[in-house]
A = this chain, B = another copy of it.
């Protein structure tokens, strides 16, 4: 009587949610301070004061106007501020007419997949990957083609990519800095990817769009560089969210940028907007369109993520864990100490460590550690990680 697919999605067991629920039960038993929950990717630093002050000011000064419908693509002044900011930062010349404001990065991706997908289309995704990509791509009626992880560096396995791109490939999705690995694609990786996609676009006679999912764009550590992807590959569509940069995940606000240079960009932009309409996105939340566009050159105080990363990586490596150095975001993706990452995650629970098996991200043999927590929590957790390692000796 209901859609089996939707019912399945609505009742699916979520490993992360089950860890979270387990953590709550365990906290009641032994105290919350003794449970080390590294399962959830919720920003742990507050929004800049200016974000809340701007919201309060707008609610005071424009109590009626601020709640009105905006146009479907977003308020013109907000889009102009975002375009100006991008142009200042990246030396570009984007116009407000190619920004489409959305209800967060998930909505951005859904509008792009639904806007682009024609029958038979495929989107290429690199493991390890954010598992909702599969839900969104299949929801758009397309097929997800998964490239296995290149586990030494979590850059791209180009041989596997070359074999997987076909005439059916409508787009390739990248997410750098990456959830769950924390890895940032190097300029070299991006240039090689661009070269391959240009060649394949030419070979198949149609553009292959690069969909750059960038919620972690502003969280990049010293010694790493996250290049502006549209400067490297022309047919790039940017999906952005303010969830992490301004610590606003619950407010659901982001955008799609279809740069002027993109092949058939007018059609792409129209299709993204049409998809937003079909999916029921009337406009992005109006108060936070204004707040984020006024505050878009700020970020939360993100340096704690870098401190956490350095502390965690060096300590885990000393204990004998294999960890690829994260360049940003707020995740580590070490190898599990036995091949079965689910069994490893289960054993970690005996030490009250909550870490997510990598199989759900397409990379078995690893676990995801979210370190968007207080640094002290990591310090107190390290002996537990040591005990976990010792239990395998």
Footprint of B on A, CB under 8 Å? 1-12, 42, 46-47, 49, 52, 55-56, 59-60, 63-64, 66-70, 103-104, 106-111, 114-118, 132, 135-136, 138-139, 206-207, 247-252, 263-264, 267-275, 277-289
Contact = CB atoms under 8 A, between A and B. Distances in A.
Given A278-B139, A285-B288, A3 B64 contact: no
Chain A contact residues, majority secondary structure: helix
Given A3-B117, A67-B251, A107-B280, 8 more contacts: A2-B115, A10-B272, A42-B69, A52-B60, A55-B287, A70-B250, A135-B277, A285-B285
A137 to B, nearest CB: 10
B69 A249 contact: yes
Nearest to A280: B110
For the complex of A and B, the 8 pairs showing the least CB-CB separation, nearest first, are A250-B286, A10-B274, A9-B274, A110-B280, A10-B270, A6-B274, A2-B271, A139-B278
Given A69-B250, A277-B135, A285-B251, A7 B270 contact: yes
Contacts of A69: 42, 249-250
B52 A59 contact: yes
Contacts of A263: 1
Contact of A56 (B60, B274, B282): B60
A5 B278 contact: yes
Given A56-B59, A59-B56, A103-B103, A7 B281 contact: no
A70 to B, nearest CB: 6
Given A3-B115, A42-B69, A281 B250 contact: no
B285 A250 contact: yes
B10 A287 contact: no
Contact of A278 (B6, B111, B271, B281): B6
A247 B67 contact: yes
18 contacts: A1-B116, A1-B206, A1-B264, A1-B268, A2-B267, A3-B117, A5-B274, A5-B278, A46-B63, A47-B64, A49-B63, A67-B247, A67-B251, A103-B252, A104-B282, A106-B281, A110-B279, A132-B277
